[in-house]
């Protein structure tokens, strides 16, 4: 099978405000009009505030890299995620965010990636074993379930040195899966000017599941605090973060603060990787010749040596192309703090500036073949230019995801391990439709036919 990868139907450029809001609440990707894939900037007027989509690379650079302090994260978006993420580094601004990053960033420096590689390797091997059991039944496989399990296993092994089969880890994974499928990116607080004292109208199920997840994470964090105090803690990411002192104040995260951070590590490290891996496998099923190239390259995988990553160039380019076509976080929202003049528009304080990887990565004025799957593009002049100016799956600038390097090791490694062991084929009539939950997932899952490769097939 060949052709363009699936994406939501493009809406007409002109729809009424109320129709747009109804579509937006159903799925933010399906609500977007066609013009946004070619516009440098677009304005949306609502009764209570103005929103501006910024696609021009110069505007993206201004907001994310040159003056990030003048464009903090919008609390309108934060309200929907607060029950689960609390005051995690993903939601905070200003001095609190700066303190959190000073403690967190050292855990994700280059040397630590080498330290976590063996845990990633064993999680990838475990994923192959689990899928092997499913393949024996010769039934279609829901791939997002496979990649979610694999990515969650990586997080637990690298963060807390426990596999997904651990009882608490398994309960966190199950609860988080339920949360992901039911929680919209935005709730009503994103659209109304609610005072701080008013309730935020979260669903009862959202509050209940978030409390369950945070309770389980609290148990893991408290147990690790006790191990650190006793001198018996393993040398993993949780220990590194919990024993790192803020170089300016000397203070460390307490248990409550660490629970917030673990929640976002699980969201950012598990949800985003699972999303990208699921779409990467579907794209490879659509393009068997690329699948075979990844499988052949994966024959280099013998032992858990970090140096092997330098040989997984095709897998890296495939994973990067999946991140381009299906960025796990499709939109990021910043807020203006002072009057601005952007592309001949006067923008007042409190306006929402939407940076949309979903549109930027498919922008018709920037990319060659923007809707096509072409891992080879990264070696072209256009691909290299867009990589610098128009590719932001992990955001950019001061607020770039601290785990970006982690993801770019984990993704190609798991992809290579799975392709070395299995072939993936599309199923006629079961084309996935991307929708935005917490991340870009398929509306009814990604279903593929999976068969085992012969040992020498790669």
pLDDT at position 103 is 95
By the 10 Å C-beta count (0-12 exposed, 13-18 middle, 19+ buried), 45 is classed as exposed
Report residue 183 as tokens: 């929680």
Closest-CA residue to 359 (of 62, 31, 25): 31
Distance CA 367, CA 5 (A): 16
Report residue 213 as tokens: 């997840």
Distance CA 270, CA 78 (A): 19
Helices (DSSP H) in 298-397: which residue ranges? Answer: 313-325, 357-360, 381-389
From first to last of its 458 residues, the chain has per-residue pLDDT tens of 467 888 877 665 555 545 555 555 556 777 678 889 999 999 887 766 788 999 999 999 999 999 999 999 987 776 777 788 889 998 899 999 999 999 999 988 866 788 999 999 999 999 999 999 888 778 999 999 999 999 999 999 999 999 988 888 888 888 877 776 665 555 444 544 444 544 444 566 677 888 888 899 999 999 999 999 999 999 999 999 999 999 999 999 999 999 999 988 887 778 889 999 999 999 999 999 999 999 999 999 999 999 999 999 999 999 999 999 999 999 899 999 999 999 999 999 999 899 999 999 999 999 999 999 999 999 999 999 999 999 999 999 999 999 899 999 999 999 999 999 999 999 999 999 998 877 888 988 999 999 999 765 44
CB neighbour list of residue 328: distance below 8 Å, 6 or more residues apart: 271, 272, 273, 275, 276, 393, 439, 440
CB neighbour list of residue 340: distance below 8 Å, 6 or more residues apart: 346, 347, 351
Closest-CA residue to 63 (of 76, 50, 54, 51): 54
Report residue 299 as tokens: 């024959």
CATH of domain 17-452: 1.10.630.10
Distance CA 295, CA 334 (A): 41
Can you tell me which residue has the tokens 């024996």?
136
pLDDT at position 198 is 43
């Amino acid at each position: 099978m060949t052709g363009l990868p699936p994406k939501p139907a493009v809406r007409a450029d002109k729809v009424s405000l109320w129709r747009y809001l109804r579509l937006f609440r159903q799925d933010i990707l399906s609500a977007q009009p066609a013009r946004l894939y070619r516009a440098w900037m677009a304005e949306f007027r609502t009764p209570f505030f103005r929103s501006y989509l910024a696609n021009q690379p110069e505007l993206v650079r201004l907001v994310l890299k040159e003056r990030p302090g003048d464009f903090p994260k919008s609390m309108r978006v934060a309200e929907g995620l607060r029950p689960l993420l609390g005051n995690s580094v993903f939601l905070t601004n200003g001095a609190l965010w700066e303190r959190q990053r000073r403690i967190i960033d050292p855990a994700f420096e280059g040397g630590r990636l080498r330290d976590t590689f063996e845990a990633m390797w064993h999680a990838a091997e475990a994923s192959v074993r689990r899928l092997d059991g499913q393949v024996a039944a010769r039934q279609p496989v829901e791939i997002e379930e496979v990649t979610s399990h694999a990515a969650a296993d990586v997080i637990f092994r690298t963060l807390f040195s426990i596999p997904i089969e651990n009882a608490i880890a398994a309960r966190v994974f199950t609860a988080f899966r339920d949360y992901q499928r039911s929680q919209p990116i935005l709730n009503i607080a994103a659209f109304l000017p609610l005072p701080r004292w008013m309730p935020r109208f979260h669903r009862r199920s959202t509050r209940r599941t978030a409390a369950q997840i945070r309770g389980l994470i609290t148990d893991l964090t408290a147990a690790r605090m006790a191990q650190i105090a006793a001198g018996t803690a393993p040398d993993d990411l949780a220990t590194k973060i919990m024993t790192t002192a803020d170089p300016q104040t000397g203070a460390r995260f307490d248990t409550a603060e660490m629970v917030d951070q673990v929640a976002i590590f699980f969201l950012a490290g598990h949800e985003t990787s699972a999303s990208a891996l699921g779409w990467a496998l579907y794209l490879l099923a659509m393009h068997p010749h690329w699948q075979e190239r990844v499988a052949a390259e994966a024959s280099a995988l013998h032992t858990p040596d970090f140096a092997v990553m330098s040989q997984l160039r095709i897998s890296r380019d495939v994973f990067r192309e999946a991140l381009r076509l299906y960025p796990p976080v499709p939109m990021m929202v910043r807020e203006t703090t002072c009057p601005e003049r952007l592309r001949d528009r006067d923008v007042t304080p409190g306006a929402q500036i939407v940076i949309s990887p979903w549109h930027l990565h498919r922008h018709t004025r920037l990319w060659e073949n923007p809707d096509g799957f072409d891992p080879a593009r990264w070696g072209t002049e256009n691909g290299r230019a867009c990589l610098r100016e128009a590719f932001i799956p992990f955001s950019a600038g001061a607020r770039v995801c601290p785990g970006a390097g982690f993801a770019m090791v984990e993704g190609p490694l798991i992809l290579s391990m799975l392709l070395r062991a299995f072939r993936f084929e599309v199923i006629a009539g079961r084309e996935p439709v991307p929708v935005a939950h917490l991340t870009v997932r398929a509306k009814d899952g990604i279903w593929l036919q999976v068969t085992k490769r012969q040992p020498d097939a790669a």
